[in-house]
Amino acid sequence: MVEYEFGGPLGAAGITFGLPVLLYVFAFACNDVSGCPVPILLHPCDFAWESLNADAGLLNASLSKFFTREAMLVTVAYYVIGLFLWRVLPANEVYGTKLVHHHRPLLYRFNAFSASVVVLAICAAGTYFQGAEFPVWTYITDNYVQLLTANILISYALSVFLYVNSFTVDTKYPNRGLRELAAGGTTGNFIYDFYIGRELNPRVTLPLLGEVDIKTWCEVCPGLTAWILLDLAFIAQQYRSYGYISDSIIFTTAVQAYYVLSSQYNESSILTMMDITTDGMGFMLSFGDIVWVPFLYSTQARYLAAFPVHLGWPRILGVAAIFVLGIYIFKAANNQKHLFRTQPEHPAVRGLSSIRTKRGTRLLTAGWWGLSRHINYFGDWMQALPFSLPTGIAGYMILPAGAALTSADLSDSQSRTMLDGRVVVQGPATGWGMIFTYFYVLYFGVLLIHRERRDDAMCAKKYGEDWKTYRRTIASSHNARLATHCPGGNHFIRLSGPHLVPGKIIKPNPVARHARLGAATKTLYVYYSPGVPTAEANYNGDIRFGSDRSYMNERTALHEISHTLGVGQTSAFDELCASGDWPRALPLLRSWDGPDAVINCGGGHFWPYGLNYNDEWSETNGDRNVLLVNAMVADGM
């Protein structure tokens, strides 16, 4: 029986065709022409389509109100520039989690933070010389709907390409391109599979740019950077309209920019998110990443551009306190979980209670994770709340210049006068604008609740009865977002021994690297032995470091761990070395170094990637050592 999510095919169809319409509703029903919401909606008894079109600025509107070739070309140019920066800027190359059918990870390239800094620096220079009239800012606000349409069309086109291209995946795993289909995206129902995504890790090779991982690039690059650009464009619009910039729009843009840049700075963390490890790449992620995020999430700044709100320091500090508390909860909970997974003997987590599962892993039931199954989601939602709070009790009406004002309008303490003479008052619109400015907070809460339930179902399947025991142990469940998964960890290699734990003196932890990339199982006993010249290890799992601290590094630790797994320690290793017949390890090596590469052995060691000397060390070589050693173990070493 097929298991559907998101309401099945009907829900997928509703989202696929309904969300773009919703963004158009937001664009026209909350505008800088007549008000937010448009005045006719405040008087439903007098509703008329002609009045609605007039209030929305759509009277006698042509196709160009929604779409222009120029806006499409500008949007395409934005994506081309983003891809160019992705290719030419220095990048951090990181291996992801192991693929289900290939038992090895893909290599990812990350530099979204650097790309955003370059784009923002160029815009800052342009603003310095041209102020609020900088063409980037004026073009965005003057062509907002046309840019929205262009991005919607691109998301549909990308989704169609991804769906069609997914049928070229060779499902006789393993395949040459390491391509896999997502477990939930092959139901056979067209609209559902189109929405959820069929291929797990689609990549495309572009001229001059090389191979691009579509999912991760869309996730962290174009949409997030565009979110900041839209916010900044609305700041410039407010200045052009009023001649000043309000503290509310500065605060809103600042916290949202922090959120974006912090996410991009730590972008490799997305590799453990459900979006990357489980979901296919379809309309859900295509539209969400490049349309929904920038155009919905910037709603508050767009509102404040038309109706400035003056907060004052007391309210700014109050809202900032909520934001900082949310950041603290989110980061502290995630850091505690990460430490528990990668360094379980660390003093900060060693004494925390947990449940030992039949899989051999542990589920944390104390600390932050004793308060809630997803306390980090709650912290993430708290970070989102200050995005909307500066808009206050939202809603406004725009009266034309020279219009006769009523006594109520004149006495409205919240009235604003634009430089062109138009007067903006709240009046009967007070509160109704919150439908738009607080929609993000409500939506985000629903998203996190849904994600929590997906996580819960996944963990229930993974841990069985142990998960039921864990749920009974936790007193309550708060719902909130981003890269949580189960609070336990896959401690493939477990450390023991009181004298020396490499994670305390070797950063980053070599055991964490094995847990992330490998599948080998071993209990390690680590000792400090002054009589040992450098370091040594045996197949029993004993690792001894001598007094020479220059060898207390990750390169040495990974080298010694390979000995505990069989390198130079077993007769099987010697036989495999003599025959050169490594069914898994040799093809893996040749995928990196070419078809002529061979695994060399001698003196109980192997090369390349044996990390036998300090000058062999690099992050990439560290990952390849772990992957190659695990392949050797799988070959029977």
Beta bridge partners of 494: 523
What pLDDT sits at residue 404?
67
Handedness of CA 294, 298, 63, 53 (dihedral sign): positive
Kindly tell me if the per-residue pLDDT of 497 is higher than 70: no
More confident residue, 346 or 208: 208
Kindly tell me if the per-residue pLDDT of 475 is higher than 70: no
What pLDDT sits at residue 483?
31
Cβ proximity of 546 and 532 under 8 Å: yes
Residue 207, preceding bond cis, omega within 30 degrees?
Answer: no
Question: Rounded to whole angstroms, how far apart are CA atoms 307 and 421?
Answer: 14
- pLDDT, tens only, 108-156: 999 999 999 999 999 999 999 999 999 999 999 999 999 999 999 999 9
- pLDDT, tens only, 179-197: 999 988 999 999 999 999 9
What pLDDT sits at residue 489?
41
- pLDDT, tens only, 49-102: 888 888 888 877 788 899 999 999 999 999 999 999 999 999 999 888 888 888
Question: Rounded to whole angstroms, how far apart are CA atoms 198 and 205?
Answer: 19
Beta bridge partners of 545: 528, 535
Confidence band (pLDDT; 50, 70, 90) for 408? low
Structure token pair of residue 68: 């222009």
What pLDDT sits at residue 50?
83
Helical axes 135-142 vs 144-165, angle rounded to 10°: 80
Query: What's the average model confidence in pLDDT over 421-446?
Result: 93
Confidence band (pLDDT; 50, 70, 90) for 613? confident
Residues in the chain: 637
What pLDDT sits at residue 1?
67
- Torsion angle in degrees (nearest 10) through CA of 50, 55, 59, 62: -130
Confidence band (pLDDT; 50, 70, 90) for 482? very low
Q: Which residues contact 84 (CB under 8 A, 6 or more apart)?
A: 209
- pLDDT, tens only, 249-291: 999 999 999 999 999 998 988 888 888 988 999 999 999 999 9
SS3 content of the chain, % helix, strand, coil (to 5): 60, 10, 35
Domain ranges in the chain? 1-30+62-310, 313-390+431-487, 396-426, 493-635
What pLDDT sits at residue 409?
61
**What is this structure's pTM?**
0.75
More confident residue, 577 or 523: 577
- List own/partner pairs for 421-425 with CB under 8 A and 24 or more apart: 422/398, 423/398, 423/399, 424/306, 424/307, 424/396, 424/397, 424/398, 424/399, 425/396, 425/397, 425/399
Q: What are phi and psi of 211, to 5 degrees?
A: -80, 130
DSSP 451: H
Residue 66 backbone zone (phi > 0: left; psi -120 to 50: alpha; other: beta): alpha
* Segment (H or E) for 518: none
Least confident segment among 380-394, 401-415, 437-451, 611-625: 401-415
Kindly tell me if the per-residue pLDDT of 559 is higher than 50: yes
Kindly tell me if the per-residue pLDDT of 315 is higher than 60: yes
